[in-house]
Amino acid sequence: MSAARRCAVVTGGARGIGEAITRNLLARGTDVVVADLDEAAIADFRPPADAAGRVTLVTADVAEEGDWHRVLDVARSAYGPVTVLVNNAAISPKRDGQRTPSSEMPLDEWNRVLAVNLTGAFLGAKLVHPGMKAAGWGRIVNISSQAARTGARVAGVHYGATKAALLGLTRTLAFEYGPDGITVNAVTPGRIMTPMAAAVADEVNQAMRAGIPVGRLGTPEDTAAVVGFLASDEAGFVNGATVDANGGSWMG
C-alpha cells in the first residue's frame, strides 16, 4: 500500500502533541482525520498549504462509541480505509493547577479519566481493526506517558493508572493484531510544553526541566517524530514496544 493512499485518525489532533502528530503525518503524505473535543482548536487549525483537502477535523468524544463510528465513517468516505490510528486524546484534571489527592478523588472524575484515556483508545483500536485487517496493513500508536513508568508526580492517580494501563493494552493488542499485519506500539513522552503541561505552575515545569539530561523540556514535534516513524513502513518489525521520548529523564 502506497503511503500516499493512507488515511490516519488522530484523536486530540487539533492542538498540542496531537496537532504536531497531525502535521507530521500530513508531511509524510498521509491523509488525516482529526477527532477532537476542542471546538476552538478545530476552528483555529490551519492546514499546511500543501495539505489542502487532505485533513478533515471532526468534533468527537473518544469515550463515546457512537462518535467513533461517525469519525470512521467520515474518514472512509473522505479518504478510504483507516490504516493508521493514533490514540492521543487524554485528560488530566487538576484543581488550581494541582492534582487531586487520591483520597479525595471523586468517583465521577476517576471514571471520566478512565473513559477518555483508556476506554477511548480501546474503542478506537477495536473499531479500526476490521479495516486494517482487510488492508493487511495497519499501525496503531498509543500515546502513554512517562507517568506510566515512574508513577504520576504532577498528574493524579487516574492519569497515572490509565497511562500504565495503555502499555498493557498496547502489548496485548500487538500480540492479537500482529498476525494481521498490524503493529501496535506506545510512546511515553516526558514533559512536553503544551496546554496540558501549562496547566501547572511554571516553577513545576522548570523543576522538571532541571532533571532532563538534554537540558530542555520537550516539544510536541519531539513526540510527533517518534509517532511518524512508528506509523511508517520502516517500523514494521517494531511491535508491542514502548518508546520513551523524554530527553533521558527516565531510564529503566
Which stretches of the chain bind ligand NAP, using CB under 6 A? 11-12, 14-18, 35-38, 41, 60-63, 88-91, 116, 120, 143, 145-146, 189, 191-192, 194-197
Burial of 132 (0-12, 13-18, 19+ CB in 10 A): buried
Query: Closest distance between ligand NAP and the C-beta of residue 130, in Å?
Result: 22
At 73, the amino acid letter reads: D
Choice between 195 and 248, CB closer to ligand NAP: 195
Q: Which residue is nearest to ligand NAP (CB)?
A: 16
Query: Closest distance between ligand NAP and the C-beta of residue 192, in Å?
Result: 4
Choice between 8 and 63, CB closer to ligand NAP: 63
Compute the distance between CA of residue 201 and CA of residue 187 in angstroms, rounded to an integer.
Answer: 25
In the chain, what is the greatest distance between 2 CA atoms, to the nearest angstrom? 51
With contact defined as beta carbons under 8 Å apart, do 62 and 68 qualify?
Answer: yes
Query: Inter-axis angle of helices 120-135 and 65-79, to 10 degrees?
Result: 30
Choice between 91 and 132, CB closer to ligand NAP: 91
Active site residue 79: no
Q: What share of the chain is helix, strand, coil (3-state, %, to 5)?
A: 50, 15, 35
Choice between 90 and 230, CB closer to ligand NAP: 90
- Measured in whole angstroms, how far is the alpha carbon of residue 154 from the centre of its chain? 19
With contact defined as beta carbons under 8 Å apart, do 55 and 79 qualify?
Answer: no
CA distances for 79 relative to 31, 57, 234, angstroms? 7, 13, 23
Catalytic member of 79, 110, 159, 177: 159
Q: Supply the residues annotated as catalytic.
A: 159
